[in-house]
Amino acid sequence: MQVSVYLDHAATTPMLPTAQRVLVEHLSRTGNPSSLHTAGRAARRVVEESRERVAASLGARPSEVVWTSGGTEADNLAVKGLFWARRTQDAQRRRLLVSAVEHHAVLDPAFWMAEHAGAELVLLPVDADGVIELDALRAELEAHGEQAALLSVMWANNEVGALQPLADVVALARRHGVPVHADAVQAVGQVPVDFAASGLDAMTVSGHKVGGPGGVGALLARRELALTPVLHGGGQERGVRSGTLDAALLASFSVAVEDSVATRVEHAAHVSGLRDALVAGIRAAVPDAVLRGPADATRRLPANAHLTFPGCEGDSLLYLLDSAGVEVSTGSACQAGVPQPSHVLLAMGVDEDDARGALRLTFGRSSTAADVDRVLEVLPAAVDRARAAGLAGRRSEARPAAVRRSGTSPAGVR
């Protein structure tokens, strides 16, 4: 019987038993939290108790928790809502500053704002570890700080696990009156996250990254922060985010946040030990594999291992490992069916060929030492096969088109 190993917890992680129980319990109840009858008031109580639970776990006030459908909506609300609000207050605030390694939930709305809403998008560079260049940020703010509408820098990178120096980022931005948003969906439950202590103006969290259900998240936003709504309707969530709230999802999400934060220290020790064993084993078995992101374990997420394998296509490695019962991620985007190298790795200065050979392996609460052993058992053969396939493909591409075998696709098309 084939062993099944799941090492893609950064993409989504199994629900915690407590979150499952709460979800099932509340799914049997009826009531719109905006209704005034008994059932509606009971649902509203669940919503507000969940808000208090999330706020207490993340160092925020309950009034600062704005419910959303997940991390993507929260990021969009932060980027668009902050930009539009700042432009209304001060027409010269047109510059939108984001790090070059942000999740697409931040990058894509930022590019959309540049194309459709008059924003001047500035992509801030990172170093070879994927960490924002503070000198570049300082220079940008000193030159154009009075024109900056907002700054978005993620708490921890979802691909290479790099922790960003948010204290320094916030300190620089505050000198110029620029609000700072951070996508913290990967950080909660792995590293200490305290909204008030961070000095951030807005912060994104998501349910399915911390052992809660999918389809639910929150934007933590300072009460005095002006936000223009992205969704319009019934005026829920202090008029910032309209839409009927799902009490069951919120209750389950809040319990998952509470539990993941309460057990963070033990969890981090568990997954970092597995991660370190895996990285050491891969380096011994595949000596030319390169660990991406900070080598210093204190500067990266404890559950994250991201490596590139020279001469391999990450997608080929993924499928070969999947056929052996090991589920991982490449960390790269796929547009129109054509694999593209990770924008994160390219921003870090990794060349395109090396970036294509990326694998992201991320641990969770269900991960075991046996998972590490299984990866190390099947990975070397997968790398050998991927390299052989890549070499054969490069030889095929080197032939004149007229001598290629009939029916083969053009290079790069799959």
Q: Which residues belong to the active site?
A: 334
Tokens of 412: 């790069």
- Kindly tell me the number of DSSP H helices and DSSP E strands found in the chain: 14, 14
The residue with tokens 């991660």 is 275
CA distance to 86, 90, 129, 242, 334, per residue, from 70 (Å): 24, 30, 28, 14, 22
Which residues, in sequence order, are CB contacts of 170 under 8 Å at separation 6+?
180, 198, 199, 200
Tokens of 235: 């005026």
The residue with tokens 């905006």 is 34
If DSSP codes are grouped into helix, strand and coil, which group holds residue 305? strand
Phi, psi of 288 (to 5 degrees): -90, 5
Pairing of strands 338-339, 334-335: antiparallel
In degrees, rounded to 5, the angle at the alpha carbon of residue 356 between the alpha carbons of residues 294 and 206 is 60
Pairing of strands 95-99, 148-152: parallel
Instruction: Measure the CA–CA gap between 21 and 6, rounded to whole angstroms.
Output: 23
Helix axis angle, 166-174 relative to 134-144, nearest 10°? 10
Which residues, in sequence order, are CB contacts of 306 under 8 Å at separation 6+?
159, 160, 161, 291, 292, 293, 331, 358, 359, 360, 361
Tokens of 84: 């539009």
Instruction: Measure the CA–CA gap between 40 and 35, rounded to whole angstroms.
Output: 4
